[in-house]
Amino acid sequence: MLQRQFTIQAEKTALSVFFEIVQQLYDSFRIHEEIHFNFKKHGDDYLIDLRFPQLYNLYSSEFRRINLAAPADRDSLQTELAAFSGYGDWESFKQQVRFLKEDHVESSDNTIPVRNSCRVIYSKLQTKYSLQLEGREISKK
């Protein structure tokens, strides 16, 4: 039993904790599809665009609230996420992606380009981190 707990703790990485908190944020309706992440169909796979700057800020606040400690730094998470996706570094992995504006204002241009976002194969996140961000959309006003 003690060995199993040690193994579970040893398997926790900054990225696994990040996605654990992202899942908690989703389950508590604090992050939303189209604002914080988007799905794209690519062949037989789904890709997920992550609005990393905003997700990191939410993760950071939640991590501090739960653990009363500093979260993993942005650079470490970006490096881990790039490596997870098969890239050598964040610079070659990051993208600019359009997301809905957070204020939900109806206008002719209701999306904004967000730099430092990224695109990951969703099934890899599901398998490795048990991430489930499906089945709920934001309400359109």
Residue 103 lies in a domain: yes
Average pLDDT over residues 43-52: 96
In which domain, by residue range, is 25 found?
14-129
Is 61 inside any structural domain?
yes
Other Cβ atoms less than 10 A from the Cβ of 115: the count is 10
In a domain, residue 74? The reply is yes
91 lies in some domain: yes
pLDDT of amino acid 103: 73
| Cβ(87)–Cβ(93) below 8 Å | yes
Instruction: Please write the tens of the pLDDT for every residue from 21-40.
Output: 999 999 999 999 999 999 99
Confidence band for 5, pLDDT divided at 50, 70 and 90: very low
Report DSSP letters for 15-65, one per residue: HHHHHHHHHHHHHTTSS-BTTTEEEEEETTEEEEEE-HHHHHHHHHHHHHH
119 part of a folded domain: yes
Q: Which residue would you say has higher pLDDT here, 102 or 43?
A: 43
Q: Residue 105, Cβ neighbours under 10 Å: how many?
A: 9
Mean pLDDT of the chain: 88
Determine, yes or no, domain membership for 137. no
pLDDT more than 70, % of the chain: 84
Domain count, the chain: 1
Least confident of 15-24, 78-87, 98-107: 98-107
Whole-prediction pTM value?
Answer: 0.85
